[in-house]
A and B are shown apart, each in its own frame.
Chain A
Amino acid sequence: MMQKPEQPNPPLPGEDDLILVDRVLGGDRRAFESLVRKHERRVFRVALAVLGNSEDAEEVMQDTFVRAFRHLGQFRREARFSTWLTRIAVNEAIERRNTRKNYVPLAEAETSEGMLTPKRYEPWRSNPEELYGKQEIHRIVEEVIRSLPEIYREAFVLRDIEGLSAEEAGEVLGITVPALKSRLLRARLMMRETLADRFEEPPTLRRKLVHAAVDAGTAMAMRLMRAAGW
């Protein structure tokens, strides 16, 4: 049986990108296609996160790659290529958003009040696939992400879907790391709260009463349990 050759120095994340960038700068324009294939999904998602609709995201994705190609010589390699590209995508998307006639910037203070208090305390199912098909879960997830206010949607997509570090996501969005973390926490709690309807275990009367007793510790809950014969 053939053995997989040992790789003493596995490629670092982003190392391939640098090789491709060098090839493009050296005149091999076709190498740019490989960069596009690797990163088109991220650029599209990021544009969608900022803009909220696929039509604008498509145009931003095209403009991002055209701009990246034309300005590739300005890529300084201090950050990863993917971060540099993401920054271009975010800037293009924000520029487009700000030119919308009906665009009203969302003040953080308008949405932050009271958002840190969860209201749903039922445990979630371990296997949501038992209840919904893959396509249905996909649709539900997209719908709920789209419903997030933009500043939370951006933070959530960059960090939790694209896997940027808090530092990278903050830098790309032009905000501090604490601000990014604060938005991310709210985004995660909003997502949890909104998806709870679909993914919580169905509450039984027994569990409801037990939880009421545990949470409140009231004599009333104990009386209800006794009355129910438990």
Chain B
Amino acid sequence: MKTMDCKEVLANLSCYIDGEGSDELRQALEEHISRCRRCRVVFDSTGKMLKIVTDAAPFEVPLSVSARLYTRLEEILSES
């Protein structure tokens, strides 16, 4: 199995998180992060960051904004 350095591992962070890449690549990444504390922290905290962001459901449409959208659409939809 190919040994990867931290730079290569970081370049493949998204592959790992998104479940992409070959089995061989994932094995090499897992092997590296099992023995490299820093990369392990980066991988783990990036996963936690994504969970925090998706759980937070940012940028909901404010009610007033939604109401104005429907008012405008009402005009368009009732056009003959």
* Residue B11 at the chain A interface, CB threshold 8 Å: yes
A160 is contacted by which of B10, B50, B70, B76 (Cβ under 8 Å)? B50
In chain B, residues 3-26, which have Cβ atoms closer than 8 Å to a Cβ of chain A? 7, 10-11, 13-14, 17-18
Mask of A159-201 contacts with B, CB within 8 angstroms, 1/0 = 0110000100000000000000100110011011001100110
Interface contact tally, CB-CB below 8 A? 125
Q: Specify the main secondary structure of chain A where it touches its partner.
A: helix
Query: Does B77 contact A66, Cβ atoms closer than 8 Å?
Result: no
* Residue B2 at the chain A interface, CB threshold 8 Å: no
* Residue A14 at the chain B interface, CB threshold 8 Å: no
Query: Does A185 contact B45, Cβ atoms closer than 8 Å?
Result: no
Query: Does B77 contact A123, Cβ atoms closer than 8 Å?
Result: no
Which of the listed residues A141, A157, A184, A195 has the most CB atoms from chain B within 10 Å of its own CB?
A141
A188 is contacted by which of B11, B46, B65 (Cβ under 8 Å)? B46
Complex-state Cα separation, A116 to B12, whole angstroms: 12
Residues of B within 8 Å of A32, CB to CB, are 73, 77
Query: Does B69 contact A61, Cβ atoms closer than 8 Å?
Result: yes
Complex-state Cα separation, A128 to B76, whole angstroms: 45
* Residue A19 at the chain B interface, CB threshold 8 Å: no
* CB nearest to B78 among chain A residues: A29
Residues of B within 8 Å of A157, CB to CB, are 59
Mask of B67-80 contacts with A, CB within 8 angstroms, 1/0 = 01110110011000
**Minimum-distance CB pairs A-B, first 7:** A141-B56, A124-B45, A44-B61, A142-B58, A124-B48, A45-B59, A29-B77
Chain A residues near B (Cβ < 8 Å): 29-30, 32-33, 36, 40-41, 44-45, 48, 54, 58, 61-62, 65-66, 69-70, 116, 118, 120-126, 128, 134, 137-138, 141-142, 145, 157, 160-161, 166, 181, 184-185, 188-189, 191-192, 195-196, 199-200, 211, 214-215
